[in-house]
Amino acid sequence: MRYPGRREWALRGVDLRVEPGERLLLLGRSGSGKSTLLAALAGLLDPALTETEGRLLVDGVHPHQALDRTGLLFQDPESQPVMGRAGDDVAFGLENRCVPTAEIPSRVRAALDAVDFPYGPERSTDALSGGEQQRLALAGTLALEPGLLLLDEPTANLDPDGAEKLRGVLGRTLEARRATLVLVEHRVRDWLPLIDRVVVIAAGGGVVADGPPARVLAGATPAPEAGAWSPGFSPSRRPPMPARSPGKALVLAERASFRYPAAPSDAVGPVDLELRAAEALAITGPNGSGKSTLALLLGGLIRPRDGRVVATDVLAPGRAAEALAGWPARELVRHVGSVFQDPEHQFLTGSVRDELMLGPRRAGLGEKVAARRAGELMARLGLAHLAAANPFTLSGGEKRRLSVATALATSPPLLILDEPTFGQDPVGSSELLDLLSALRHEGHGLCFVTHDESFVHALADRVLTLARPA
């Protein structure tokens, strides 16, 4: 399968047969075509726009003819809600499948309960965090009772407790319905009890390993290089650059809080916090605790409801005590680099190269500097072969690496990242760890939001753990 305007095939040479009731874990490097294969199995690729070779069948028919037998959970949680209220969102798929109206309310309630959704069916989908959106999307998928369940990194945005509960729900669901599972995940260890087969694919190279988990992950194919988090593998095993003593404060948050319009309580705060040069601060906590909101506050992208978030002379000489949220974009981009939870929210151009040149251009650094930095970052983060590609056509892991690169393009003193390892295979995660630890060693301040405990252990000098608002 090849997408319009792309020279490289998204997926090629895959020969694979999945039997009814199998539980298959699909592994591979970022960009190997895992998400494309799931979308194709779900019948979501337009045959008029996607160039194809070979054939793909679900229950012996074209996937478009088997739509009522499949359920797909996307990699990006924000792309999935379609209704304004949680209960209506779960009911939407049931209504489209023409489920009798009398059955829908009970199936909605059962699905929300199964994923431990923390609110009632009246909850606004706009008020949900990324992890809560993921739980809601899974509820909508499970409510359909599909025979083929396709999951693309279902726990990537969930806190550890939420991820454990989700795996429990899936285990019970698979046992009760004898459904077939095709799962894409980079973190393997916790999924092994649910899996009976592992398949590894390579970009343009088809299936490179296939068999029971113990055999495939034991070394028939080097699992980390193939894109799998083999049991015991952790990025912390690759020692980063040594940390220096923390420097002076770059940004100060003083009793800062934020409340979304019409929300009954603050999403986060009040918070007192320093972000320091040559230090990495990890922000952790359960889904819905306000981690992403705090990252936006600290990056000057939203204005506090109460309190303040201000620069220091170390961040910007002569601008101490100025509220970051009031800075023009041209100034902010030179001093603070932000990486959003959803990479697509920060893409503005039609190619990877232009995306990386946009920040330096906006900061007035000139074309030569912009081109040089774009080239260096593409080479450093494995994006050089995608220079002319549209950012929205990249894989999830490639989009994340591009979003990090755009934040680095102006070489800001402070970098704020929301879920930096989302969608990353082990090699990409280790390379990101090396890059961020080198930046910290050079004196940059780092602040990152994450559920990735191994990444926290490997990089963080300090940890701030938020609690869910009462």
Q: Which of 149, 155, 111 is nearest to 134 (CA)?
A: 155
Residue 151 and residue 34 in contact, taking contact as beta carbons nearer than 8 Å:
no
CA torsion 301-79-228-216 (nearest 10°) is 170
- Residue whose entry in the numeric block shows the structure tokens 């393997």: 188
Identify whether residues 363 and 436 lie together within a single domain: yes
Dihedral sign of CA atoms 249, 255, 260, 263 in order: positive
Identify whether residues 174 and 76 lie together within a single domain: yes
Q: Flag whether 2 is in a domain.
A: no
Q: Which of 375, 346, 376 is nearest to 362 (CA)?
A: 346
Identify whether residues 174 and 313 lie together within a single domain: no
pLDDT tens-digit series, residues 9-26 = 889 999 999 999 999 999
Identify whether residues 183 and 245 lie together within a single domain: no
Identify whether residues 289 and 406 lie together within a single domain: yes
Mean pLDDT over 208-213 rounds to 90
pLDDT tens-digit series, residues 234-244 = 554 455 666 67
Q: Flag whether 163 is in a domain.
A: yes
- Residue whose entry in the numeric block shows the structure tokens 């981690």: 291
Q: Among 233, 264, 280, where does a domain finish?
A: 233
- Residue whose entry in the numeric block shows the structure tokens 């260096």: 376
- Is the bond leading into 212 cis (omega within 30 degrees of zero)? no
Number of domains in the chain: 2
Q: Flag whether 450 is in a domain.
A: yes
> CATH no. for residue 309?
3.40.50.300
Confidence tier at 132 by pLDDT (50, 70, 90): confident
pLDDT tens-digit series, residues 184-195 = 987 788 898 999
Q: Flag whether 11 is in a domain.
A: no
Identify whether residues 159 and 281 lie together within a single domain: no
Secondary element (H or E) of residue 274: strand 268-276
Confidence tier at 221 by pLDDT (50, 70, 90): very low
Q: Among 233, 268, 292, where does a domain finish?
A: 233
Q: Among 190, 214, 233, where does a domain finish?
A: 233
Q: What is the span of the domain harbouring residue 209?
A: 23-233
Dihedral sign of CA atoms 210, 214, 216, 220 in order: negative
C-alpha–C-alpha distance, residues 111 and 130, integer Å: 18
Query: Is the confidence at residue 272, as pLDDT, over 80?
Result: yes
Secondary element (H or E) of residue 160: helix 160-177
pLDDT tens-digit series, residues 40-93 = 999 988 888 888 999 999 999 999 999 989 999 887 777 788 899 999 999 999
Q: Flag whether 100 is in a domain.
A: yes
